[in-house]
Structure 1
């Protein structure tokens, strides 16, 4: 099955304008923009036929083409990354059997997260979209809770059924637990990793659906699939010792740089 990775990137982020062009310093002092680090993460995934950056901004296009990325220009009316991926897929001829949305704010995404995601979607013909989830240890859970206590939107959490069909995604920390966990203790909370794999029919249908109340309240694009009765498969992935965090706020820059330094990632 042919696989396309599209990296949606927009300049006018509400929480962090210009985020794709923010510089991040690696373990040995090498500085690269967020979009370049996300592109390099995509290029490291095996079994992928094509990687493109999908944007509506010439500043991002110029930077991306400067480091060798293929760029697909999309309209300014795309409401989110899924709509941008849908438009990019159609502009490329719509011939891919799986389209992966590797969002441009997740440069620490390991290749096996995406590889396991594609494998999971292939094995679940009843699902139109799949997304990875990572069980939080106590340290990750406490980081999520600390963000919420300080009024910051950190990571998204997910709850799912026995067949791994998603029940809900939230920017709040769900499910609630009153227990205290040590930094390395496993917890019942799953961090949603901001990557999606779509079957083309589900991706084509998505832009035509109205934005529902849950998507509006949470600001989470994957809820539109669920509000329209499409199964979202949660694929559990393993960290294998890698730290993971998304760049959502300016405060996340030093956190991600510290993680890259600790893991020796340049």
Structure 2
């Protein structure tokens, strides 16, 4: 399947303005967030084209300087999916368009590879996205966040064939029990990477933002609210740590993980 990876990047982030140009230091030196995200995309096998999608000249100039292809999009895009839809319209002819978010440079390459395989194996799916089974430690962390009034990770529930039923910033499903730290649970952590079929992606910007998307603040719910088939693909982290950069405090976390990956062959695979 001919596959395009688009990396949405905007300068005017509400929580962290200028985030794509923030420097992350690792064993390989100091590189910006957008460069590390681009390098993560370039490591994915079987990809035909990788582009940075932005409406900001500062990001575009920087990305071109380190060798990335840039597609300029409008400032009207309300989220990464809408920005990817613009890219797909500008660059037609792909069977799959992947949204590898520009704030997730530690996303394992095989997550994207598994999504593309999932779409190839399921012709009825309009979009595929990865989920990770949580252990007791992860669930306890999510619940602790909610008790403290913090929004932690997003969870997903799905039915037969991996069809998504719902995504939430609450911890779902309710289990009513505690788990040992290493014990597998029925809770799945949703990882914010998406592989779309171009037809579904083209329809997305024209749909009104529904009440569930507004309440949860989750862009993928627009697909469910419009009766599109979302495939949840269970992936294995294989010992790899990953983290998204949403706040300034996340810089130190990601830098520590970069060091750990370089020192541990399993983390670097």
- Output one character per residue of 1:234-256: Cα deviation in whole Å (capped at 9) or x when no partner: 00000111112222223322222
Segments of 5+ residues of structure 2 without an aligned counterpart are none
Inter-partner Cα distance in structure 2 for 1:261 and 1:177: 36
Alignment of 1:111-190 (within 5 A): 111-190=109-188
Alignment of 1:204-219 (within 5 A): 204-219=202-217
CA drift of 1:137 comes to 2.3
Segments of 5+ residues of structure 1 without an aligned counterpart are none
Stretch moving more, 137-146 or 41-50: 137-146
| 1:52 match: secondary structure | strand
The residue that corresponds to 1:36 in the other structure is 35
CA contact (8 A) 1:8 1:55 kept: yes
Distance 1:199 1:107, change over 3 A: same
| 1:263 match: secondary structure | helix
The residue that corresponds to 1:84 in the other structure is 83
The residue that corresponds to 2:104 in the other structure is 106
Inter-partner Cα distance in structure 2 for 1:141 and 1:134: 12
The residue that corresponds to 2:59 in the other structure is 60
Distance 1:75 1:213, change over 3 A: same
Residues paired across the two proteins, number:
264
Distance 1:248 1:188, change over 3 A: farther
TM-score of the pair, normalised by structure 2: 0.92
Is 1:202 paired with 2:173? no
Cα RMSD of the aligned pairs, angstroms, is 1.7
- 2:229 aligned to which of 228, 231, 254: 231
CA drift of 1:167 comes to 0.7
CA drift of 1:148 comes to 3.1
Distance 1:181 1:258, change over 3 A: farther
The residue that corresponds to 1:48 in the other structure is 47
TM-score of the pair, normalised by structure 1: 0.93
Is 1:244 paired with 2:242? yes
CA drift of 1:134 comes to 1.0
CA contact (8 A) 1:154 1:248 kept: no
CA drift of 1:31 comes to 1.8
| 1:163 match: secondary structure | helix
- Output one character per residue of 1:6-42: Cα deviation in whole Å (capped at 9) or x when no partner: 001111112222221222222x262211111111110
